[in-house]
Amino acid sequence: MTVPPATTLDDMVRHAFAGARGRVTAQALLGARTWFRVGGPAEWLFQPADADDLAGMLQRLSPELPVIALGACSNVIIRDGGLDGIVVRMARGFANIAVEADGLVVGSACLDATVAEHAAQAGLAGLEFLAGIPGSIGGAVRMNAGAYGADIASVLDWAEIVTRDGNMLRLGNADLRFGYRRSGLPEGAMVVRARLRGTPENPAEIAARIAEIRTAREQSQPVRARTGGSTFRNPDPDVSSRKAWELIDEAGCRGLRQGDAQVSEKHCNFLINLGHATAHDLETLGGRSAPARCPAFRRAPALGNQTHWPNGRNPRMSTTKRITVLMGGISSERTVSLSSGQGVAEALRSLGHTVHTLDAGADLRTLVTELDAQKPDVVFNALHGRFGEDGCIQGILDWMGIPYTHSGVRASATAMDKAAARSAFLSAGLPVAKGRVIDIAELKAGDPLPAPYVVKPICEGSSVGVSIVRPGANVRERIVQDWTFGPQALVEEFIPGREITVGVMGDRALTVTDITPTGQGHDFYDYDAKYNAGGSRHVLPAQIDPTIAQQALDVAVAAHRALGCSGASRSDFRLDDTGSAAPRLILLEVNTQPGMTATSLLPEQAAYCGISYPELCNWLVEQAACRQ
């Protein structure tokens, strides 16, 4: 019987794993497996039982699907969005070590240090340098790892590989065409076993040299930190005799930080995660922020760390999807939503996705029918305000089983309800203004708070309906007469100073933007200042005290977590730095559906961090899920 060819993406994956004996995990978390402790999930993680299991899977795997091998993840940065396709990680079936008279035959999953120890116990010298290299043998062969005057090319007899199409080959040393920190492995090939030469010698003397290497490494490198080893290759000896760390140090980059990523003080060719760094922080430090301030990074020819580029990388590498962009809607922010949706649709089409736009009107039956007919893989929610931002559309999409961007029902509803969000922020210990909920009719009788204070609708966005009541101003009755936002309002003390905002992607704050309304008639960052051309001036990063800037970044992430947000959010603040007292930072609100025109605040901050508008849109699509 002839098996029909797999046609859809799911069919291809199922076909590849049919009969596999190893472990298959969907959406497998990778960050905890990396030495940097950063990175998103693998779409599929396959841990083959042995080389035959790996070869069989690759033979069945469509050439259209991406596949990549990961070893010990000691010398790798995986981007925060994760990896598309299939990630192969060698496990127990690739960890055997066989001792021979003049060498070892080792599996690709064996740690380099473990191989060095086995060689010492067997009385085989020449492999001591492996004790100073974090990682596994498969990665060591691929990159011709080396240290302390030796490298893999100097000790390898042969390597057995499985090619991308599932063939098993044995390649000799010459076939691998080793160079400085590189090999000539065929594209897509994976190392499964290798033979390393050794010279008989007294085991105690070999062990002593290994101890010396470990002591030297401990003294000179941040081995106890979350790091990926040396980051930059040394310059070609024909170009410069100086080491990469010398060039970096000379440029004054020792200790340089980006978020919680830092150039190590101990050895400045190491990037380290101080605790809460993201992959983007590390990449920015090593490849974007640092070059502007550190010529050594430009002079070092290439990154030693392999950096994978999922979901924020070159987005054309992602699997294309059928996407429906929901836009328009029935709220007071309809015009803004149409602008956001149109920009998003164009950006996603530029990446090769099949994109439909859908104006979400008041007829729910029509909306559901259209979504059912379009059968999108993902809905990009570009709605703002009521129905689109308050958990309503999120509940419908959960019910229909359609993955969607941004936050789910609970986070959306809580963030939209300013009183509920305020309670969540207080419970999390975040700084909020003094205030309370009132019946709007109370405003006629007198001031609910000492003036100046702010009157806000409880469930509106984009500063719709917000008024400031100043001392002596006779505006309370007018506010009540014009009020169309329900029986209650939130009143809060007015915070003088400036408006700043922080975008959050995933679990990482981007930067701080200082927002100044321009022109006349803008007491604060109101609807017109936000959306009219020339209505405001944005300065990023904000020129404020670094301690306050870091506090804003930290509070934005904490607020994102307190509400249970997903995807992207934007936290808005007031910063009172007008007097002689210490500056005071107050969290105003979290926007779970930030504006998504190309010049909106979140895309503007993403661009500052090196993430283009199409990449941002694509990242949000990759984060889409049903969140019930």
Greatest mean pLDDT range, 40-49, 299-308, 312-321: 40-49
d(CA 12, CA 27) in angstroms, rounded, equals 17
The percentage of the chain sitting over the pLDDT mark of 70, rounded to a whole number, equals: 88
User: Does the pLDDT of residue 536 top 60, yes or no?
Assistant: yes
User: Does the pLDDT of residue 313 top 60, yes or no?
Assistant: no
Q: Quick one: which of 565, 504, 42, 548 has its CA closest to 311?
A: 42
End-to-end Cα distance, the chain: 42
Mean pLDDT lowest among 91-95, 221-225, 340-344, 383-387: 221-225
d(CA 628, CA 626) in angstroms, rounded, equals 6
Q: What is the mean pLDDT of the chain?
A: 85
pLDDT band with cut points at 50, 70 and 90 for residue 459:
confident
User: Does the pLDDT of residue 237 top 80, yes or no?
Assistant: no
d(CA 28, CA 45) in angstroms, rounded, equals 6
pLDDT of residue 463: 65
pLDDT of residue 290: 41
What residues form DSSP beta bridges with 25? 45
Q: Quick one: which of 405, 394, 574 has its CA closest to 492?
A: 574
Residues 260, 262, 268, CA angle at the centre, nearest 5°? 170
User: Does the pLDDT of residue 530 top 70, yes or no?
Assistant: no
pLDDT of residue 534: 54
More confident residue, 11 or 78: 78
Three-class DSSP category at 54? helix
Q: Quick one: which of 46, 42, 41, 43 has its CA closest to 16?
A: 46
pLDDT of residue 473: 81
State the sign of the Cα–Cα–Cα–Cα dihedral 432, 436, 437, 439. Answer: negative
What value does the mean pLDDT take over residues 371-388? 92
Residues sharing a CB contact under 8 Å with residue 496, sequence separation 6 or more, in sequence order: 574, 576, 578
Torsion of CA 118, 120, 122, 125, to 10 degrees: 120
pLDDT of residue 315: 34
Alpha helices (H) along 227-300: 244-250, 279-284, 290-293, 295-299
What value does the mean pLDDT take over residues 484-497? 90
What value does the mean pLDDT take over residues 122-151? 92
d(CA 238, CA 177) in angstroms, rounded, equals 19
**Which residues are catalytic, by number?**
181, 230
Cis check: omega of the bond before 541, within 30 degrees of 0: yes
User: Does the pLDDT of residue 242 top 90, yes or no?
Assistant: no
More confident residue, 324 or 91: 324
Residues sharing a CB contact under 8 Å with residue 212, sequence separation 6 or more, in sequence order: none
The percentage of the chain sitting over the pLDDT mark of 90, rounded to a whole number, equals: 47
d(CA 550, CA 539) in angstroms, rounded, equals 16
What value does the mean pLDDT take over residues 362-366? 90
Three-class DSSP category at 42? strand
pLDDT band with cut points at 50, 70 and 90 for residue 43:
confident
What residues form DSSP beta bridges with 199? 125
User: Does the pLDDT of residue 30 top 60, yes or no?
Assistant: yes
User: Does the pLDDT of residue 307 top 50, yes or no?
Assistant: no
What value does the mean pLDDT take over residues 49-60? 95
pLDDT of residue 503: 95
pLDDT band with cut points at 50, 70 and 90 for residue 181:
confident
Q: Report yes or no on whether pTM surpasses 0.85.
A: no
Judged on CB neighbours under 10 Å (0-12, 13-18, 19+), 484 is: exposed
User: Does the pLDDT of residue 289 top 60, yes or no?
Assistant: no
pLDDT of residue 502: 96
pLDDT band with cut points at 50, 70 and 90 for residue 593:
very high
User: Does the pLDDT of residue 491 top 70, yes or no?
Assistant: yes
What value does the mean pLDDT take over residues 167-171? 96
d(CA 410, CA 566) in angstroms, rounded, equals 11
pLDDT of residue 280: 82
User: Does the pLDDT of residue 529 top 80, yes or no?
Assistant: no
Token code pair at residue 455 = 């009157």
What value does the mean pLDDT take over residues 53-65? 92
Domains within the chain, CATH numbers bracketed: 9-89 (3.30.43.10), 93-207 (3.30.465.10), 221-308 (3.90.78.10)
Mean pLDDT lowest among 6-15, 284-293, 424-433, 492-501: 284-293
Bridging pattern class, strands 488-493 and 435-439: antiparallel
Greatest mean pLDDT range, 75-79, 234-238, 265-269, 424-428: 424-428
More confident residue, 408 or 4: 408
